[in-house]
Amino acid sequence: MAKKKEIQQLNEVTVRFAGDSGDGMQLTGSQFSNTTAFVGNDLNTLPDYPAEIRAPIGTVYGVSGFQLHFSSEDIHTPGDSPDVLVAMNPAALKKNLSEVKKNGILILNSDTFDLKNLKLAGYPTNPLDDDTLEGYTVFKVPISKLTEKALEDTKLSNKDVARCKNFFALGLMYWLYNRPIDNTIKWIEEKFKKKPEYVEANTLALRAGYNYGDITEAFTTRYSVEPAKLPKGTYRNISGNEATALGFLAASVRSGLPLYLGSYPITPASEILQYLSSYKNFGVKTFQAEDEIAGIVSAIGASYAGNLAITSTSGPGLALKTEALGLAVMTELPLVVIDVQRGGPSTGLPTKTEQADLLQAVVGRNGEAPVAVLAAKTPRDCFYMAIEASRIAIKYMTPVILLTDGYIANGTEPWRVPSVDSLPKIDVKFRKEKEGFYPYLRDEFLARPWAIPGTPDLEHRIGGLEKADIYGTVNYDPDNHNKMIHLRAEKIKNIENDIPLLEVDGEQEGELLVIGWGGTYGAIKEAVAKARTLGYKVSQAHFQYVSPFPKNTGEVLKKFKKVLLPEINLGQLAKLLRSEYLVDIIQFNVVRGLPFKVSDITEKIKEVYGGKNGK
């Protein structure tokens, strides 16, 4: 009879699953995340996988990982260093061991630590037998053999049995952290409903892993993390890409416009196309174009025809869309371009994150071609910024670029599902009256009329050549060109009157303000909170609008003696702020393809303070 295991209460835990790309680590992490969200913890995730479709098996280059930070309190990052590493082979251990906290837990598939895999991972000796793992709590679990034993009576091939070992590991983790397995069993039944043999095998493996934790003498302690005290409501776990897709769907409903997405698949933005393609019942039209240029020009055509038109891409694709984006500026049609930033330049790091497309988004076009640029700060914020980007595009008849990044696009967090009535209504005014109509006549927002082709007596022509003010005919007059250039710039500048002011969290003036934009929000917020507990007087402000900036930006920046700006680039927002407001910015630039660590920003805050604090 197994001894009753002690249950230890924890406030927060960071877990990382790691193994070969074919070991199902992304699926394992996603299922653990969904169950964690179901039991009410706050959470944040970081999927991390190789760019190669068939990375070398057993090598460090082929390791796929999924990190999850969950807590009984409010959290904003996937955690700096894992408390627990589940490594399915030596390469997964080799790649991740240096980041695991000292005294952390290592759960290792001991069956894979043979001479072949050790050599592939670059281990001269077996780390299970030497002092490599000294200082860690190590559990050597024969996951492969135990999975084979659990499935010995099934009809699966040896290859398919081996693919079930991730569910054994998942079941063990469910036991260790006191999580229910019922949700994952329901998912298995739905996922493999046409293949009952897979339902049986994966369920058996999941239960076997859970029961192993319960009966083995190796584990003497289980852990429990209480539900977080979140505002009441209906919650679901959501990724940034899915939130982006749903945000545009909501914008379509709130504007009454049909939604059109013209897109070419590109990592890490492809999921937006995949998600929206499943909403045909809402009238969503998706077009998987043959290239990036076709994607955006089809969206421009859809906008001309009266659709809420969007196109999705990543950095390399945004470069290809540049000329057509200039066409959208010249025709002054509403269009939203979603740029899910990834590591560059060129093909760069396709599956990693970066913030290096900011200057490309703000000024990266030929001629004076201003557009509005927004940036989402968290996975769930992608939903609301998609709606906001749509609102601005329609109201001001302008292209808008919405920046997200690989981290928040693939990462997940709990999202309180809003009621439709709580979302802003987007007013749409199609021009229908013949009297007084001219294609480039402007309203109080400097927006030109949106006249749908086929509207009686409103025939007009648009294109890429310069337009005559008001009349819209092709015009090469120097003074007219100068006027149109200024009108288009003024229209974008005026958006500052229609967006929120920059908010400061903490003291409204003082010694140090830490600012950021986009997906650095969570790391900065937790670092500022940590610095405050150490006695440092630090305030925070975060930019979601970067073209134009909020109207009070200069006023806010000049109220602090020092301004620190962490960016996952070489200082692109710092350049824009310096040139616009003549304010010195202390840059903190780390470009590793990964999100900032809270500890790194905290140390930088200490450095800026000269090591002194308020205590």
- Contact partners, residue 141, CB within 8 Å, separation at least 6: 107, 108, 109, 110, 172, 212, 218
% pLDDT > 70, the chain: 99
- Tell me: the pLDDT tens digits for 508-555? 999 999 999 999 999 999 999 999 999 999 999 999 999 999 999 999
- Residue of 484, 516, 492, 539 lying closest to 590 (CA atoms): 516
- Tell me: the pLDDT tens digits for 258-284? 999 999 999 999 999 999 999 999 999
Does position 1 have pLDDT exceeding 60, yes or no?
Answer: no
Q: How far is CA 560 from CA 305, 525, 536, in A?
A: 49, 18, 14
- The residue whose two tokens read 């929000």 is 521
Does position 3 have pLDDT exceeding 90, yes or no?
Answer: no
- Tell me: the pLDDT tens digits for 173-220? 999 999 999 999 999 999 999 999 999 999 999 999 999 999 998 898
State the average pLDDT over residues 76-80: 96
* Residue 596 to residue 146: CA distance in whole angstroms: 38
Of 326-330, 599-603, 607-611, least confident by mean pLDDT is 607-611
Instruction: Centre a 10 Å sphere on the Cβ of residue 614 and count the other Cβ atoms it contains.
Output: 11
Confidence band, pLDDT 50/70/90 cuts, at residue 614? low
Does position 126 have pLDDT exceeding 70, yes or no?
Answer: yes
Does position 615 have pLDDT exceeding 60, yes or no?
Answer: no
* Residue 203 to residue 182: CA distance in whole angstroms: 10
What domains can you pick out in the chain, each with its CATH number? 6-225 (3.40.920.10), 236-422 (3.40.50.970), 510-608 (3.40.50.920)
- Tell me: the pLDDT tens digits for 81-105? 999 999 999 999 999 999 999 999 9
> Under a CB-based contact definition with an 8 Å cutoff, are residues 566 and 524 in contact?
yes
What DSSP string runs through 164-205?
A: THHHHHHHHHHHHTT--SHHHHHHHHHHTTT-HHHHHHHHHH
* Residue 608 to residue 615: CA distance in whole angstroms: 16
Q: What is the mean pLDDT of the chain?
A: 96
- Tell me: the pLDDT tens digits for 386-444? 999 999 999 999 999 999 999 999 999 999 999 999 999 999 999 999 999 999 999 99
Distance of CA 501 to the CA centre of its chain: 24
> Under a CB-based contact definition with an 8 Å cutoff, are residues 365 and 579 in contact?
no
> What is the pLDDT, as a whole number, of residue 613?
60
Q: How far is CA 92 from CA 98, 159, 257, 558, in A?
A: 11, 20, 48, 48
**Facing residues of 515 across strands?**
541
* Residue 380 to residue 417: CA distance in whole angstroms: 10
